Chains A and B, each alone.
Chain A
């Protein structure tokens, strides 16, 4: 800095110092003087440059020396790094060698914790030991090595579940009843398979950890078994029910529709079939009462053949003879036939209707089947065969109407057969026996004469 100012001053001082010359000689003097000064100044500058050049050369020397030193150091460090790298690899392989089985153990522990969390959450014993789920979850999500304590606790938890799944226990816990209320009940569980309270089977919902009473219970025999099991003395043998699917079969029960839902599946054809069945049953009941009363009257009349009463068909036929005693045999025979013909339609009334109903009900069932299949195929047209759930609506209509048709036809068929054999019998009595009774009466009459 100082040097550059000096240089600046030396360059410009002649100009600054110069005085305006008054004549040519003075100018010559002035020029001569200035030349000397300039020469001196150039000398000075040259010296300065040389000095500076030497200085720079020295600096270059210095820098070169430093570079060499640094290069040497770099080489040294490189060597060191390589050595360390080698050491590190060596140490790592040593670590792997030493912790090889431990690393596997960690993975296994996490996997087992995860698996058993799934299994234990769906197990009903979670109701009695709710804290273990949190522990298992924490263990399955850990990134570090598990401690000995944790390993032991995992082992104990699994052992506990095994022991509990072999036990029959009764404990009090809140149960959601079929009406939706929450009540404290004494629940008996058979291992982790079946649970019941007061003879009603329960279902465990792992998502909410609730016990729910099944809306539809299994057959009464199994319910009785549950009740007997609950009331049994401790340490005695008692048969019971085990659901090896841990509640999956019990859950299926809830899905089966009841009678009312079934009938609704049949649609309007189903209702028509049921209406026909009701009409048939009413006709059958009416005819049964009428035929029963008539048959009783006829039987009574058979025993007291001499006193015909107008209240039953046989009596009415017999009274023909009483009115026509004086006629000849041929006239009597014709009159009897006429009287019999008058009586038979009343006995056969309604039977044809029943026969038609018994024939029509399965046909209506078939109609329902076809309309259900049409629905199914429409669903297939729209959605393809990919979703069986969409197709099964039409199929269940088809099947339910067929079933209803059969269920209506079979009883009506049986009733029709019973009624028609009854009425046939009565007609045979009227047809063939009435003449015999008349003949007997006439013979007695003639003998008395």
Chain B
């Protein structure tokens, strides 16, 4: 166990500061994705039922007022469902950019070594290149893993909002 932790620590150190940023960003992204799914499958159905009950209890479901109130209900639902979606999407966009940032950072270190030692010190150059490659890999990997879920969540939200709208019948 401690050996594994040490390996992770080594990986993080060889990836430099940018890898930490990627780690933080991807952890944040995954927390938000999981939170969204939990909300959508466990909390939202209850809210939906409440809204439908509330609507069905109304006598008037036809007038302009009623239409406005229905729109408002749907909008409230959509706002709650769409929460964090934009942030998740932005994070999937920002992660490859962070990877690129790490790549550039690693290349800078490589060229620093070249400035001082010329091309002779391959060992020193390899440190920078490992940062460049590890961060690119980390950025792409986390972004790709998040990309599917962010699109899927978006579709799910649209569908759920449509469902809510369908459930609120206008006589």
Taking a contact as CB atoms under 8 Å apart, the answer to whether B124 and A252 are in contact is: yes
Across the interface, do A396 and B72 meet the contact criterion of CB distance under 8 Å?
no
Contacts of A429 in B (CB 8 A): 75, 79
Kindly identify which residue among B75, B91, B100, B112 contacts A255, using a CB–CB cutoff of 8 Å. Answer: B112
Majority DSSP secondary structure for residues of A touching B:
helix
> In the complex, what's the smallest C-beta–C-beta distance from A390 to chain B, in angstroms?
9
Which of A255, A362, A393 makes the CB contact (< 8 A) with B116? A255
Interface size on B, residues (CB 8 A): 46
List the A side residues contacting B129 at CB < 8 Å.
none
Binds B, one of A6-14, A310-318, A410-418: A410-418
From the candidates B64, B72, B97, B105, name the one contacting A329 in the complex (CB within 8 A): B64
Contact call B90/A436, Cβ cutoff below 8 A: no
Q: Closest CB-CB distance, A221 to chain B, in whole Å?
A: 8
For the complex, is B74 an interface residue (Cβ under 8 Å from A)?
yes
User: Hey, which chain A residues are within 8 Å of B75, CB to CB?
Assistant: 428-429, 431-433, 436
Contact check, A392 vs B115: say whether CB atoms are below 8 A apart.
Answer: yes
20 A-B pairs besides A418-B90, A421-B86, A443-B69 with CB distance below 8 A are A255-B112, A255-B116, A329-B65, A388-B118, A389-B115, A392-B115, A399-B108, A400-B108, A414-B91, A416-B90, A421-B84, A424-B86, A425-B79, A428-B75, A428-B79, A432-B72, A433-B72, A435-B72, A436-B71, A439-B69
Contacts of B82 on A, CB cut-off 8 Å? Answer: 421, 425
* A positions within 8 Å CB-CB of B: 219, 252, 255-257, 262, 329, 333, 362, 387-389, 392-393, 395-396, 399-400, 402-403, 406-407, 409-410, 413-414, 416-418, 420-421, 424-425, 428-429, 431-433, 435-440, 442-443
* Interface residue? B109 (CB, 8 A): yes
Binding site for A on B (CB under 8 A): 13, 60, 64-76, 78-79, 82-87, 89-91, 93-94, 97-98, 100-101, 104-105, 107-109, 111-116, 118-119, 124
Q: How many A-B residue pairs have CB under 8 A?
A: 120
List of B residues within 8 angstroms of A402 by Cβ: 104
Is the CB–CB distance between B72 and A257 below 8 Å? Answer: no
Residues of chain A within 8 A of B113, CB atoms compared:
252, 255
Q: How far is the CA of A407 from the CA of B119 in the complex (A)?
A: 28
A-B contact pairs, 17 of them (CB 8 A): A252-B124, A329-B64, A388-B115, A389-B118, A392-B111, A392-B114, A403-B101, A403-B104, A413-B94, A418-B90, A421-B83, A425-B82, A431-B75, A436-B71, A439-B64, A439-B69, A440-B65
